[in-house]
């Protein structure tokens, strides 16, 4: 990567990080470009060289999040995760844990902009993309119901955990979610 490309990426990252920080402090509609420029320590020209407006930055954050989800799940078929979801659940939890403060900002961002709905939709599509799994679930209609239920529950559990409502380790969270995904509530029968 050339020096110029590194500077461009560094500027974009500073802008996106600054917006996440500001969104943790206040509602998106209350944030101004001037505020963002000051927080990111960049010039107005640099901002407009990369983004059209604040909404453009917000959309890039959303795109980055979905690209990261594609990366995380890319090597796994949904049916494979269903057999042993622990590795992917732990990977997701570890990723959140290593950047806990940014993750908290990101989940506030998700909640504020209904991005959670979009993430659930993405996870649902991911599950439904495994045709063999859809057949095992009894067809597309029942698979869609199951996929939405799973996606909603998983996203909600991670959200509550990152916001400190579940003071447990990443390993414990991943193990518990894995048990539920593999065996449903029967996994907890004594």
What pLDDT digit, counting tens, does each position of 82-118 carry? 677 788 778 777 766 655 555 555 555 555 445 556 6
| Span 127-176, pLDDT tens digits | 888 888 888 888 999 888 888 888 888 878 877 787 767 788 888 988 88
| Chain centroid to CA 109 | 10
Mean pLDDT of 53-63: 87
Domain spans in the chain, listed from the N-terminal domain onward: 1-56, 75-185
| Span 14-52, pLDDT tens digits | 999 899 888 878 878 899 999 999 999 999 999 999 999
Closest to 170 (Cα-Cα) out of 74, 94, 58: 94
Indicate whether 177 pLDDT > 60: yes
pTM: 0.61
Tokens 């902009």: give the residue: 113
Closest to 40 (Cα-Cα) out of 20, 17, 8, 9: 17
The torsion defined by the Cα of 136, 137, 143 and 146, in degrees rounded to 10, comes to: -140
Which pLDDT score, from 0 to 100, does residue 45 have? Answer: 95
Which CATH fold would you assign to the domain 1-56? Arc Repressor Mutant, subunit A (1.10.10)
């Amino acid at each position: 990567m050339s020096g110029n490309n590194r500077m461009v990426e560094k500027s974009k990252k500073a802008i996106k990080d600054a917006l996440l920080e500001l969104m943790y402090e206040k509602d998106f509609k209350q944030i101004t470009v001037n505020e963002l420029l000051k927080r990111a320590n960049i010039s107005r020209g640099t901002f407009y060289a990369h983004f059209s407006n604040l909404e453009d930055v917000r959309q890039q954050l959303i795109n980055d999040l979905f690209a990261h989800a594609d990366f995380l799940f890319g090597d796994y078929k949904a049916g494979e995760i269903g057999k042993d979801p622990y590795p992917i659940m732990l990977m997701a939890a570890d990723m959140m844990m290593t950047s806990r403060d940014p993750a908290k900002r990101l989940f506030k961002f998700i909640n504020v902009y209904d991005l959670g709905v979009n993430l659930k939709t993405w996870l649902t599509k991911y599950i439904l993309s495994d045709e063999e799994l859809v057949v095992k679930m009894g067809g597309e209609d029942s698979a869609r119901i199951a996929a939405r239920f799973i996606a909603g529950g998983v996203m909600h559990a991670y959200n509550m955990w990152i916001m400190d409502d579940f003071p447990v380790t990443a390993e414990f969270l991943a193990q518990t979610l894995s048990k539920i995904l593999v065996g449903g509530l029967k996994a907890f029968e004594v």
